[in-house]
Structure 1
Amino acid sequence: MSSNASSLPADAEKSATSQWLSWILVVTLIYLLLAAVGSIGDGFKMATGNNAKELFAFATNPFIGLMIGLTATALIQSSSTVTSIIVGMVAGGLPISIAIPLIMGANIGTSLTSTIVSLGHVRNGEEFRRAFSAATVHDAFNIVAVAILLPLELAFSPLQHTAEALAGFVASDTGVDMKSINVMKMILAPAADLLKISVSWMPNKIWMGVALIVIGIGMILFVVSAIGKVLRTVMVGKAKVIMHRSIGRGPISGMASGMAITVLVQSSSTTTSLIVPLAGSGVFSLKQVYPFTLGTNIGTCITALLAATAISGPTAILAMQIALVHLFFNIFGIVIIYMLPFLRGIPPAIATKLAVLAQRNKLYVVAYMGGIFFALPLLMIGATQL
């Protein structure tokens, strides 16, 4: 008995040390994320000079941008990664008007993960129906949000203007020249200098810029994945407690829960992957899952906002602006679709119909996943280039 008792403090101390090491690793990874985003911005500036707009002229069609964002996110399986890359590209000269459809596409592409998770219930017809509807309600909401907000954005630019106003307010609210006291720039300077030195052997600035972009994208892919793994180890237990306590209390509590858990684990894919099996087993209904997934959409915006803080100089406001566009797109989507009774029921109705078809014939699952996330986007991109 005494041996067991004496081992308890040692185990607790070991656990506390492990927790501290995990959080130190998270801070290190966040630093690398910021450095990676800065690297992409520096790379675009170096490679394109003042010709960035001409470089992205092929994407002036917003539907191409939308499809590229959708397919890229579906392939990478992380909207956080894609939006962080977009923030870096905007800092490097990508026009906001092109970046906005990319962001919208990323919002749709990220919902593929939960649909894949639902396949774990495919052997049990009723469980699969519940799981598939819980997964695709996320897809359906994001698609409906794009169908409403993209035409509005093209006609009146509400997202761009709102984000521009807030980004300008944040910048001007300081009342001082931020370039002279940019703490983030000072913190990231060693990493930025080291990255530039690592490509200094390249023959010219164009190749140096391309190398910085490739390094930055590679770092973001690694860091976002690593942060997710570390935070899942540390936080998923707490996330499940939050989920069980709050989802059944109503839509506002459900949204708040989805947002909080996504911020904790830094991955909307992880959050929705937690809820889908619970929906499949009947613990939560589609009505309860629906607002929860909307909260994950807001929670995932934190990565882009964090990434925007890595940018300094004249493009800093633009980087913050596109990060805020991501946030406002999801907020406006909730306000317009969920708050209006005649629109609120559309995503669940779509998800329910898809689930019934999928339960009846699994070929519908293949057609849906392959068509929405890959075949249709690629066909639209090809058609617009003719």
Structure 2
Amino acid sequence: MSENTSNPINPQQSAAAKFLNWAAIAFLVYLVLVAVSTVSGGFKLASGGSEGAKEIFAFATNPFVALLLGALATALVQSSSTVTSVIVGLVAGGLPINIAIPMIMGANIGTTITNTLVSIGHIRSKEEFKRAFEASTVHDFFNLIAVAIFLPLELAFGILQKLSQSLAHLFVGDADLSLKSYNFIKPLVKPAVGVVKDGLAFFDGKMLGVAMVVVGIAMILFAVTTLGKLLQKALVGTAKEMLHRAIGKGPLAGITSGAVVTVMVQSSSTTTSLMIPLAGSGVFSTKQIYPFTLGANIGTTITALLAATSITGAAAEVALTIALVHVMFNVFAVALIYGTPFLRDLPLRAASKLAEVGSNNKSLALGYVLGAFFVIPGVMMIVAR
């Protein structure tokens, strides 16, 4: 009698393996959140925090320089939420709104660097890197097109400012409502970030900030590389279908889910960064993730609104005005660009072309990150002044 040498799968072992796989994914997602917060905190220490940002913003003498400053400051701080909150405070302190509006638009451009950096975690695999880089840079091109359309219109007609001022005047009576306690992500990752910071205690001052940035980036690279592999195993069958219903079902579902998740975590950088491993591993295409990214653009405006609620007195209305400008800019940009077939496809085409070039020559991809977010804005700002 012959024996069956095959080893049947033990259901209990299979269930245990699935549980461990999902537990590892949950840990790596948490690690990404911690890493992004570590990088953000490190940049704040290295650049002098909000006081340093205020000194940088003092150079804003015209809308074009203000736009570049918004982009550069956000790229350095790795958080449009931080920058827009500072801008709200500066407007409340007397910064002209016509200077603050280009800063807000620049912050939208600068915030896309985080998910582009996360895509670098897939650089060892050409195909994975191409998919991840394309999914990350579609955000870049969308925001660039949005600024190219709305900044000239705003300088000529002041549409966003006028509409936001009218709404702020209607709602300023409720501006003392504070929802800051809604942010549960910050207290969730704060202990882990503290452990990283304590582990680097032999550094101090700005060097501590630099060390945190380096460690944070290393954590991101490790997390996204491992996460991509685990997601390929986990996101099959029912789990994959559930995720597709939330993101891949259609544009409206994608935009809504992107906005909701970003409101919950109060960081578009975090939301979009968590999507990059999904693109890199081939779970979703750039076209499917694209609407989710646009929803993140809308959801991130919650932070400036929350910052505005902390302003009281005579400055409350003007603070709420600039926060509403952020909301209107992102909502109108999504409606116009994504609602117009020709404009809708431009970010996808540009990202696809750049990803093809970057995957064939990875030094050009790295050059794009450094040049687009740091070198070009810095040089142009100096020239403009």
Q: What's the TM-score once normalised by structure 2's chain length?
A: 0.69
- What are the residue-to-residue correspondences of 1:73-152 with 2, within 5 Å? 73-152=74-153
CA distance in 2, matches of 1:251, 1:75: 31
Q: For each residue in 1:10-43, what CA deviation from the matched residue of structure 2 results, as whole angstroms up to 9, or x when unmatched?
A: xxxxxxxxxxxxxxxxxxxxxxxxxxxxxxxxx9
Q: Would you say the 8 A contact 1:232–1:265 is kept in 2?
A: no
Cα offset for 1:301? 0.6
CA contact (8 A) 1:246 1:254 kept: yes
Counterpart secondary structure, 2:375: helix
Q: Which residue number in structure 2 is paired with residue 308 of structure 1?
A: 308
Cα contact 1:163–1:322 (8 A) shared by 2? yes
Q: Who is 2:334 aligned against?
A: 334
* 1:351 corresponds to 2:351: yes
Per-residue deviation, residues 33-82 of structure 1 (Å, max 9, x unmatched): xxxxxxxxxx9xxx9xxxxxxx9885231110011010110010000000
Q: Give a deviation string over 1:99-128, Cα, whole Å, max 9, x none.
A: 001100100100000000001111111111
Please give the alpha-carbon distance, in whole angstroms, between the structure 1 residues aligned to 2:327 and 2:99.
Answer: 17
In the alignment, which residue of structure 2 is the partner of 1:323?
Answer: 323
Matched, 1:365 2:380: no
User: Could you tell me how far apart the structure 2 residues matched to 1:226 and 1:331 are?
Assistant: 26
Q: What displacement does 1:243 show?
A: 4.9
| Matches of 2:191 and 2:254, distance apart in 1 | 21
Secondary structure of 1:288's counterpart equals helix
CA–CA distance in structure 2, aligned partners of residues 153 and 309 of structure 1: 25
Is 1:228–1:265's contact at 8 Å kept on the other side of the alignment? Answer: no
Taking the aligned partners of 1:323 and 1:155, their CA distance within structure 2 comes to 20
Structure 1 residues 57 and 299, CA, compared in 2 at 3 Å: closer, same or farther? closer
Contact 2:57 / 2:66 at 8 angstroms: preserved in 1? Answer: no
> Take 1:232 and 1:246, find their aligned partners in 2: how far apart are those partners?
29
Partner residue, 1:229 = 189
Shift of 1:144: 0.6
Q: Using a 3 Å threshold, how does the CA distance of structure 1 residues 225 and 94 change in structure 2: closer, same or farther? A: farther
Residue identity in the other structure for 1:148: I
What is aligned with 1:71?
Answer: 72
1:265-320 CA-to-partner distances (Å, cap 9, x unmatched) read: 12111111110000111100111011110000011110110110000111100000
Structure 1 length-normalised TM: 0.69
Q: CA deviation at 1:224?
A: 10
1:60 match: secondary structure = coil
Q: Percent identity?
A: 56
Which secondary structure state, in structure 2, belongs to the residue aligned with residue 314 of structure 1?
helix
Cα pair distance change 1:249/1:183, threshold 3 Å: closer
Residues 179-190 of structure 1 mapped to structure 2, 5 A cutoff:
none
Return the alpha-carbon distance in structure 2 between the equivalents of residues 227 and 255 of structure 1.
Answer: 27
2-side partners of 1:371 and 1:251: how far apart? 31
CA distance in 1, matches of 2:184, 2:67: 22
- Cα distance, 1:231 vs. partner? 12
Provide the C-alpha distance between the structure 2 equivalents of 1:329 and 1:303, rounded to a whole number of angstroms: 15
CA, structure 1 residues 107+339, in 2 after alignment: closer, same or farther (shift >3 Å)?
A: same
Instruction: Give the letter for the 2:256 counterpart.
Output: A
1:345 match: secondary structure: helix
Deviations along 1:210-233, whole A, 9 cap, x unmatched? xxxxxxxxxxxxx99935726999
Q: State the secondary structure of the residue aligned to 2:282.
A: coil
Alignment of 1:1-386 (within 5 A): 59-171=60-172, 226-227=186-187, 229=189, 243-385=243-385
* Structure 1 residues 232 and 83: CA distance shift in structure 2, 3 A: farther
Whole-angstrom distance in 1 between the partners of 2:184 and 2:65 = 26
| Cα 1:105/1:275, change in 2 over 3 Å | same
- How many Å apart are 1:171 and its aligned residue? 2.9
Contact 1:80 1:224 in 2 (8 A): no
Between the two proteins, the alignment pairs up a number of residues equal to 284
SS at match of 2:140: helix
Change (3 A) 1:303 1:364: same
CA contact (8 A) 1:227 1:266 kept: no
Partner residue of 2:209? none
Cα drift, residue 159 of structure 1:
0.8
